[in-house]
Structures are given as C-alpha cells and as structure tokens.
Structure 1
Amino acid sequence: MTQIQHVLVSKADLEQRVRELGAEISRDYEGKELVLVGILKGAAVFMSDLMREITFPVGIDYMSVSSYGNSSTSSGVVTIKHDIDTDIRGKHVLLVEDLIDTGLTLQHLQQLFLMREAASVRICTILSKPSRRLVDVPIDYCGIEIPDEFVVGYGLDYAEQFRNLPEVWVVKTGE
C-alpha cells in the first residue's frame, strides 16, 4: 500500500529553481538552435514550466523511455517506447528529466543523441539523487539534490499515480 509521508520540496521552491534554470539556459544557449527533449512522462510538467522561462524560441520534442515499469527501483535496462520526431543533426539538444537516480538512462540517451550527430547534448533535471548514482553522468543543469527517498508529484509517479501533485512528496510504497 502506498502512503504519502510528507512534502520534500515545496511548490515555491520548485518554481524558484525552474526560474533560475531557465535564466541559466537562456544565457548559455542565446543565439543557438536549441531543442528541448523531454523524457516522458515524468518530465512533462517540469519541461512545460522550464520552456516558459527560456527567453528565446526553442524546439521541443518528447521521448518515452522506461527503466522502472511499475516498480520503485530501476531495472537498469533502458527501453525506448517512443522516439523523437525531430531531426537533431547539428542542433544543440538539452535532455530534460524529472529525476536522475542511477544515471543509466541519461548516460544511454546522451550517447544515443551524440551518435545521431547533435551539435551538443547536455542534461537538465529538476531533481537529482546523487547517493543512488551508478554512473558518472554529467548534469549540466541540476535543480535540487534530494536524499534517497522515493518521491512523487510534480510529474513523478508511483504506478502512474500522484503526478498531479504540485509539490514533491516522499511516499512509502510498501515494497
């Protein structure tokens, strides 16, 4: 049984950090052709907020990738369920993620987009769990580091539930 425990990151803290990340990205990519690639479903809320904070036109696309299924722990196997439609050759790609845990998914995707001849591939996440990292994936734009707790809200889910919460909550999953 899943139980919501307490708020870990408030709505106000999320909003503030998204504004800061948008300003950093705007400075770094001004005058460049940038494509934001959101990793579904979790990053949809964050990416919607983030792109509104970027001060120049950007392309967007989404891909669906799974390494969790209906579990609270990563299987370590990255499966692409839906790929992007955008030709990213010669363009700067910013992978937008909700949470970086082991780093395996983002390492895989970064290598994939470099093989597809993107001009650059950088990573942006709203949440990071450095204590869970299995690979040293460079996070270029890191929102908030959190402890090793299972979290939901702000796009993050447990078995497709709780994505709509405006804050990040710690949950006890019963696993």
Structure 2
Amino acid sequence: MVIPAETRIRVLFDAATIAARNREIAAEVAASKPVNLLVAPVLKGSFMFAADLLRELHAVGLTPQVEFLQLSSYGAGVSSSGQVTMLRDLESSVKGRDVLLVDDILESGRTLAYAKDLLVARGARSVKCCVLLEKPTKRAVNVTPDLVGFHCPDVFVVGYGMDVAHSCRELPYVGVIES
C-alpha cells in the first residue's frame, strides 16, 4: 500500500512533546537503579522510540545493553489477530538482569504480556514494561505498563516508528491519517 502524497496526517503528539516525555521516562528508569540493565525493544514499531529513549538513558548516566525482540500480532492488518508470533528472539540470557521491555503501543496487551511472561520465565530479575502509547480501552489481557509515554485515543496512529502497511514510520511525530 502506497500512501498518496496528498494524504493529510493530523498530529497527536509532536516531536518536542515526545522528546520531553522521553527525558522524563529516562529519569524514572534511572531512579529505579536498575541492575545490569537490558533494554529490549519490540520491533518494528518501537525502533524510533527505543533509539531516542536509549540516548536519554545515556544522558542520565545509564549504560544498558540492547537486544531486540520481534513479535507480531498484526500481520499486514490494522487490528490484532489475537495470536502472537515470535519472529526474532533475544540472543543473550536475561537471568538475574533487570529488563526494560520497550514497545510502541499497548492496545490488546497480548504482545506485551507474551514478552513479559517469556522474560520472567527465563529468570529476569525484573521486567518493566515501557510503552510510548497506551489505549486502555482496548485491553484483552491483564497487563499493566510500568512506564507510559502518553494515553492515546482509540484511533489508528502512524509515525514515530509506527506504520500503515510499512509507510509513515519515518515521521518525527505520532499522528492520525485523515484522508
């Protein structure tokens, strides 16, 4: 799917607002004094959020390791299929480590719950869930994020790493396609 050039996108959270919130989240993570911190972004949608958050974690004096998970419950659609599929796993052990699981958006909760349960079962000392956006009305499973960038209205969002059919990830803000 190619998004026409004349498509209008209404900005929900602009780049400056996102950057400020990333600084606040990094300060909250640092205040928890994590042990042997591993930041585990869930690909693909969280890559921009994770990169900016990692730079902010560095700015507050943390030196986490980073490894990526790739999970999917959407496929090419715009709503969750209800089935989580592991496409890429972590390469190293999480045993005894504090893990910051980073995801773009928490809707049904299936992906985040799957990842958190997996890391806890593998012996992580702790697993904190950090999401850029939360849609609390969409929850299908019981999972609560520890750190939330923003509460999001029940709309399909794009930008800042999130896509529609692999388009719009490059936008420096989170927005809604209007036409």
* Interval of TM-score (by shorter of Structure 1 and Structure 2): over 0.9
Question: Which secondary structure does the structure 2 equivalent of 1:76 belong to?
Answer: coil
What do residues 25-64 of structure 1 show as CA deviations (whole Å, max 9, x unaligned)? 011125x211000000111111111011112110110011
Partner of 1:120: 126
Check whether the contact 2:105–2:133 (CA below 8 A) recurs between aligned residues.
Answer: yes
TM-score normalized with structure 1 length? 0.94
Mind listing any 5+ residue stretches in structure 1 that lack a counterpart? none
Mind listing any 5+ residue stretches in structure 2 that lack a counterpart? none
| Structure 2 Cα separation of the partners of residues 135 and 166 of structure 1 | 30
Amino acid across the alignment from 2:131: T
Amino acid across the alignment from 2:45: G
| Structure 1 Cα separation of the partners of residues 178 and 137 of structure 2 | 19
1:23 aligned residue (18, 21, 27):
27
| Structure 2 Cα separation of the partners of residues 17 and 116 of structure 1 | 31
| Structure 2 Cα separation of the partners of residues 49 and 5 of structure 1 | 22
Partner of 1:68: 74
What do residues 55-112 of structure 1 show as CA deviations (whole Å, max 9, x unaligned)? 2110110011110011000001000001111211111111000111111111111111
Query: Which 4+ stretches in 1 moved above 6 angstroms?
Result: none
Check whether the contact 1:35–1:61 (CA below 8 A) recurs between aligned residues.
Answer: yes
| Structure 2 Cα separation of the partners of residues 133 and 87 of structure 1 | 29
More strand by share: 1
| Structure 1 Cα separation of the partners of residues 37 and 167 of structure 2 | 32
| Structure 1 Cα separation of the partners of residues 8 and 169 of structure 2 | 13
Report deviation, 1:171. Answer: 2.0
Q: Which sits farther off after the overlay, 131-140 or 154-163?
A: 131-140
| Structure 2 Cα separation of the partners of residues 124 and 86 of structure 1 | 20
Partner of 2:45: 42
TM-score normalized with structure 2 length? 0.92
Question: Which secondary structure does the structure 1 equivalent of 2:142 belong to?
Answer: coil
Q: Percent identity?
A: 38
| Structure 2 Cα separation of the partners of residues 155 and 60 of structure 1 | 17
Question: Which secondary structure does the structure 2 equivalent of 1:20 belong to?
Answer: helix
Partner of 1:91: 97
Report deviation, 1:134. Answer: 1.3
| Structure 1 Cα separation of the partners of residues 114 and 40 of structure 2 | 14
1:9 and 2:7 are equivalent in the alignment:
no
Q: Note the 1:98-137 alignment, pairs <5 A.
A: 98-137=104-143
